[in-house]
Amino acid sequence: MSQFRLTFLVGLKEGILDPAGQATRNVLQHMGYEAHDVRIGKWIQVIVSAETEDQALAIGQEMGKRILSNPVMEYFEVTVHAYEQ
């Protein structure tokens, strides 16, 4: 078995209110930046054991759907990288 690093980006779906993003946008604008749409999300990294990269991706998809995101309000993206200790 090989080890793989799964990287997850989790964010709120379009249409879901993001108060943290709005507050950050307001601060950025107050500081003179032309920020228009700020969304706050999560970055998660997990090391897994799997036979192949495709199997690691399937594990990551399952983790994302079942545990790491709320599918009603959030989307997620997962990428797979070989992991060397």
Looking at the chain, the number of H-run helices and the number of E-run strands are 2, 3
Q: What is the DSSP letter of 31?
A: T
What is the DSSP pairing of strand 42-50 with strand 74-82? Answer: unpaired
Q: List the chain pLDDT tens, one digit each, 85 residues.
A: 899 999 999 999 999 999 999 999 999 999 999 999 999 999 999 999 999 999 999 999 999 999 999 999 999 999 999 998 7
Q: Give the whole-angstrom CA distance, residue 42 versus residue 10.
A: 5
Nearest to 47 by CA among 83, 79, 76: 83
Count: domains in the chain = 1
- The whole domain housing 6 covers 2-82
The CATH number of the domain holding residue 31 is 3.30.1280.10
Query: What is the helix, strand, coil percentage profile of the chain, to 5?
Result: 35, 35, 35
